[in-house]
Structure 1
Amino acid sequence: MVRGKTELKRIENATSRQVSFSKRRRGLLKKAFELSVLCDSEITLIVFSPTGKLYEFSSSSCTNKTIERYMNSAKNLGQYKKSSETSLQHEKEDAAAMSKRVEVLEQSKRKLLGEGLDSCSIDDLYQIQEQLAISLRNIRARKSLLCKQQIDRLREKEKILEEENAELKKRCDVQLRLHLSEEDDEPQRPYTDVETRLFIGLPETTIPLATGRAQ
């Protein structure tokens, strides 16, 4: 049969409470001893009974050294938490400042695009106009520089193509001169007369003579 989960609450009966304290105290001290031996850990256990009686267990030779070590660790932990909280606060402040800066930049961008100008004064509009004029000058200067660089590259390419064309033409002239020279050195063949006849009508046929006698 499965046991139900026992609800943890204060034992009202004083006698039962004292008996339960004694049993569980011994078990707790035993577990602390086993943990210190099996895991080679430093353990100090301090227990006060309901009547104020002190019970303690320490795996080291001196309980005060363990307590001092705990105090130093707690102090360092507190300093670390304080440092972490301070760092976190600085990060929050930096994030808020960055968010505000991004918002300002977004508003400035919209104004440069001609949006959200209802809240702008005449001075703000003059300032935006001046910024656009400066941007336009920079864009035109950059465009002129890129066009000049492209023209220079095309001229250089044209020069290279002209040089290649001149070299190809030179090679063609050499090949043509060699070909003409070979034709001049080749001996002339004499012409021969060919006898021809003119026939009117069907060509004459020659009947072969019989080589045997009829039987």
Structure 2
Amino acid sequence: MARGKIQMRRIENPVHRQVTFCKRRAGLLKKAKELSVLCDAEIGLFIFSAHGKLYELATKGYVRTAQHPKGKQINTEAKEEISMLKHEIEILQKGLRYIAGGGSADPMTSVELNVLEKYLEIWIYHVRSAKVRTYNCMHI
């Protein structure tokens, strides 16, 4: 029995939407891991739920280098970088909650707002670059 085509639109029922999110998130993470193993690809994946919760996957890079296979102690530099990256993720999560909800009980500091601004500028640059590439491909 073949599955029917699913219409791509927002699921209105919040319970069904949450169940679908959980199932598809798990499937996406599984596919990313499979792609990494099959193609020896480095995969980094961030998923933000509607509530601002972060789900992440890193097949190589910072997460893997921090977990030495023989259980040896990782060096101080790597620990500091991991700590810095976790702090950046927390700031970005807080910023997304701030943007999505129009504010939060815990206001953002000027440093956090500056970090968020930097990332927003980077994301805008990438969006505009993709837009230009798409436009150029269509008119060649």
TM over 0.5: no
Tell me: higher relative CO, structure 1 or 2? Use CA pairs within 8 A at least 6 residues apart: 2
The structure with the larger Rg is: 1
**TM-score, normalized by length of structure 1?**
0.29
